[in-house]
Amino acid sequence: MSEANEKHDGSELGALGDEDSGPTLPVNPELEDALREAVESVESHEKEAAEAVDIDDELAKSRDRLIRLQADFENFRRRALSERHDLYQYGHENLVKDLLLTVDNLDRAIGHARESGGGDLENFLQGVELVQQEFLGILENHAVSEVEAFGKMFDPAVHEAMAQVPDGSVAPNTVTEVLQKGYQLREHLLRPARVMVAKAPEAGKENTGEASD
């Protein structure tokens, strides 16, 4: 075999060798797009799964906070009810303690009057007056005051008119007599003052001072 033939055969063998190095696939855009979408879908699912775990964790924390808040509110409600009950039952404790001293003094005055056989009436009255003053002082210390009535204009907010009396010496609707004193606790009316109220005498009639309904 000649050298030319050997060279020729060698080139052909080389070409065949290159072809045998492995088959190659042509580029397919649709296949690449599908592969890319598959990868993105997997990544998206993984992200959603991670977010779902975070949401579950936040829900669990929120649930725990809600349970604690409910427990705190229930404890607060129980304390409030207990304090309200105690206030209703014992809120006037200080007033009662002060009044007990007045009761003691009144007992002493009555006991002294009995020992004297009722002959020392003047001293007994003085003792009762002292007890009354002490009692009124206790009421004042607890923000209880007497409703002003005598000589004042009738006020239906704090006065209760029991009758009207013709009286030309004062202006109509003036309180001329207090039948029962009224009291108020600060701005809250405990009971109105029961009073007699003046009205203008009828023409041609003198002031009789008799009450009329």
Q: Is residue 136 part of a domain?
A: no
Q: Is residue 163 part of a domain?
A: yes
Please tell me the distance from the alpha carbon of residue 200 to that of residue 207, in angstroms, as a whole number.
9
Per-residue pLDDT tens digits for 147-188: 999 999 999 999 999 999 999 899 999 999 999 999 999 999
Sheet bearing 183-185, strands edge to edge: 144-146, 183-185, 188-191
Per-residue pLDDT tens digits for 23-52: 555 656 776 767 777 777 766 766 766 666
Tokens standing for residue 73: 């509110």
Q: Is residue 53 part of a domain?
A: no
Tally of domains within the chain: 1
**Please, which pLDDT band fits residue 2 given cuts at 50, 70 and 90?**
very low
Q: Is residue 99 part of a domain?
A: no
Q: Is residue 175 part of a domain?
A: yes
The boundaries of the domain holding residue 153 are 144-213
Q: Is residue 209 part of a domain?
A: yes
Most confident of 38-47, 61-70, 107-116, 147-156: 147-156
Q: Is residue 200 part of a domain?
A: yes
Q: Is residue 34 part of a domain?
A: no
Domain of 152: which CATH number?
A: 2.30.22.10
